[in-house]
Amino acid sequence: MTETAAETAGGRRSDRTRAAILTAARERFAADGYERATIRAIAADATIDPAMVMRYFGNKEKLFAAAAEFDLRLPDLSALPREELGAALTSHFLDRWEGDESLKALLRASVTNEVAADRMRELFAAQLGPMIAKLSASTASAASSATAGGANTVDAASSVDVATRAGLVATQALGFALCRYVLALPPVANLSREEAVAWLGPTITRYLTGTPSTGTRQANTS
Amino acid sequence: MTETAAETAGGRRSDRTRAAILTAARERFAADGYERATIRAIAADATIDPAMVMRYFGNKEKLFAAAAEFDLRLPDLSALPREELGAALTSHFLDRWEGDESLKALLRASVTNEVAADRMRELFAAQLGPMIAKLSASTASAASSATAGGANTVDAASSVDVATRAGLVATQALGFALCRYVLALPPVANLSREEAVAWLGPTITRYLTGTPSTGTRQANTS
DNA sequence: GTCTATAATTCGATAGAC
DNA sequence: GTCTATCGAATTATAGAC
C-alpha cells in the first residue's frame, strides 16, 4: 500500500498532504456524518484540491475507511479488583473519546453507513471481547481448582458468555457517547469526568463480570 | 382507484393518503436515516406521486417532523416498589421500540439532523423528567414527615437532580436501542426480552432513583 | 386533486492540461 | 503531483396542464 515512487524528497510532502486530508476527514465525518460530509468540504478544510482526495484515496468509502481506522487501546485490567473494573474502563473510554475524533466519526457514520456499522461491530467483537475473556481467564485460574470437576468452559467466572458481556458494555458505553457527544443532552454533557465514572462504573463492572442481579439478592429473572 | 361515485364523506381520501405517506415516511426514515430517505422513495412506498408529498407536507423537514411526532406513553410507576422500577420501565421501553417505528426513525435521524436531535432532547427532558419527579414526590411524601425540618426541595428521595437522572436513563435506554436495532450487534440483538429486562433493569433502577453506588455501601460521589 | 416536466443545486468521479 | 473543467446522476422543489 505504501508509495512505490523512489523519490526521496517528493515522498515526504505527499505524506503531509495525506495526513492533512485524514485529519480534515475525521473532523468532517465526526461533525456531519457520512453522507453530509462532502469531499469538497474536506478538501477545503485541508486547503487542497478536491481532486487530490480522489487521487490519494480512490473514493469516498475508502477515505472514510482510512479515517475511521483506529484502536480502542484497551488497557490490561487483570490486576485490578473486580469492583474497580468498571470505573477503570469507563475512565479509559472517556480518554479515548475526548482525545480522538475517530470514534465520534465512526459513531455518527455507523448509523447510516453499512461499512461504518461493520467496523463498529468488529470493534466490540474483536477488541473488547478478547479483553473480557482475558479478564475471566485470570479470575478463573484461582477458582478453577475449587470448582474442579465443572464444565471445561474457558471462562469459569460467569455463566454469561463473553460476547454478551461485551455487547452489554457496548450498550452503556455507546449510549453515553451518543448522549454526551452526538445528541448533547444537557444533563449528560454537563457531567464532570468524575461524576461520569461514578455513575457508569458500577454498571460497566456488572456487565464486565457478567453479574445479572444487583448486589444484595440473587433474583430469579422470570 | 378512481371511484368517484362512492364518496360517502368529504375529505376522507385525503386523510387516507396523508396517513399512507406518514407510514411510508416512518419506515424509510427508520431504515435509512434522514438524508438517505428520499421523498421519491417514500412516495413510491405509498404508491403515490412524489409531488403529492410536497403538497401535503410542504418540504422534507416538515414531513419528518410530522412522521417523528410521538409520545413515550410513560406509565405511572408510583405504586411499584423501588427495586422493580427499572424492570418495569425497561419492559415498557421494549414495547414502545418494537411496536412503533417512529422511535427508530427518530434515533437514526437525530444523529445527523438537528431538528431530530432537538426533538430527542425534548423527549427526555419533557416526558421522562416529569415522570421521575413524580416518582420522587410520591416517595418523599412518606419520608417528608420524618426528615421534617429539612430543605423545602421537592424531591427529597435523592440528592441527584431529576434532569441528571433522566439523562442517565437516556444513556442506557438509547444505547441499548442503538446497539440492538440500529447497529444490530449480534449479542445484543439476540437477547431475549426477559434477558434484556434482567440486565438493564437494575441499571435503570439505580439511575431512576439516583443511587450513585451499588447496593452494599453508601459511597460519597466526590 | 393528480401528475408531467423541469428548474436549480449539489455531489462523486473522470479526463486531461501543465 | 496539482489543478481546471466538466460529466452524469441524484436530489429537493416549483410551475402548470389536465
Burial of A30 (0-12, 13-18, 19+ CB in 10 A): buried
Contacts of B206 (CB under 8 A, 6+ apart): A202, A203, A214, B86, B214
Each residue's pLDDT tens digit, B54-98: 999 999 999 999 999 889 999 999 999 999 999 999 999 999 999
Query: Is B8 part of a structural domain of the chain?
Result: no
Smallest Cβ distance to B167: which of A33, A179, A222? A179
The rounded distance, in Å, linking the Cα atoms of A28 and A33 is 7
Q: Are A199 and B207 in contact (CB under 8 A)?
A: yes
Asked if residue A105 has pLDDT above 70, the reply is yes
Query: Is B191 part of a structural domain of the chain?
Result: yes
User: pTM for this structure?
Assistant: 0.88
The answer to whether B203 faces chain A, any CB pair under 8 Å, is yes
| Chosen domain end from A40, A67, A94 | A67
What pLDDT is stored for residue B20 in this prediction? 96
Each residue's pLDDT tens digit, A111-160: 999 999 999 999 999 999 999 999 988 766 555 544 444 444 444 567 89
Distance B159 CA to D15 C1' (A): 61
| CA separation, residue B51 to residues A16, B41, B48 (Å) | 48, 12, 9
Residues B126 and B176 in one domain: yes
Indicate the number of domains in chain B: 2
Contacts of A111 (CB under 8 A, 6+ apart): A33, A117, B33, B107, B108, B111, B112, B178, B182, B183
The rounded distance, in Å, linking the Cα atoms of B107 and A98 is 23
Distance of residue A35 Cα from the nearest chain B Cα, in angstroms:
7
Smallest Cβ distance to A213: which of B33, B172, B202? B202
Residues A118 and A196 in one domain: yes
Q: Which domain holds residue B102?
A: 82-141+157-209
Asked if residue A3 has pLDDT above 90, the reply is no
Residue whose C-alpha cell is 454537563: A190
Which of the two residues, A19 and B138, has the higher pLDDT score? A19
The answer to whether A115 faces chain B, any CB pair under 8 Å, is no
**For residue A129, what is the DSSP state?**
H
Nearest nucleotide over every DNA/RNA strand to the A41 CA, judged by C1': C11
Residues B41 and B111 in one domain: no
Contact (CB<8Å) A203/B199: no
CATH, residue B45: 1.10.10.60
**What is the rounded average pLDDT for all residues in chain A?**
87
A54 touches strand C (CB under 7 A): yes
| CA separation, residue B21 to residues B10, B12, B27, B55, B96 (Å) | 19, 14, 10, 11, 21
Q: Are A222 and B156 in contact (CB under 8 A)?
A: no
Residues A62 and A86 in one domain: no
> Which candidate, A208, A52, A189, A77, places its Cα nearest to that of B117?
A189
What pLDDT is stored for residue A201 in this prediction? 98
Helices (H) and strands (E) in chain A, counts: 11, 0
Nearest-CA residue of chain B relative to A30?
B112
B16 touches strand D (CB under 7 A): no
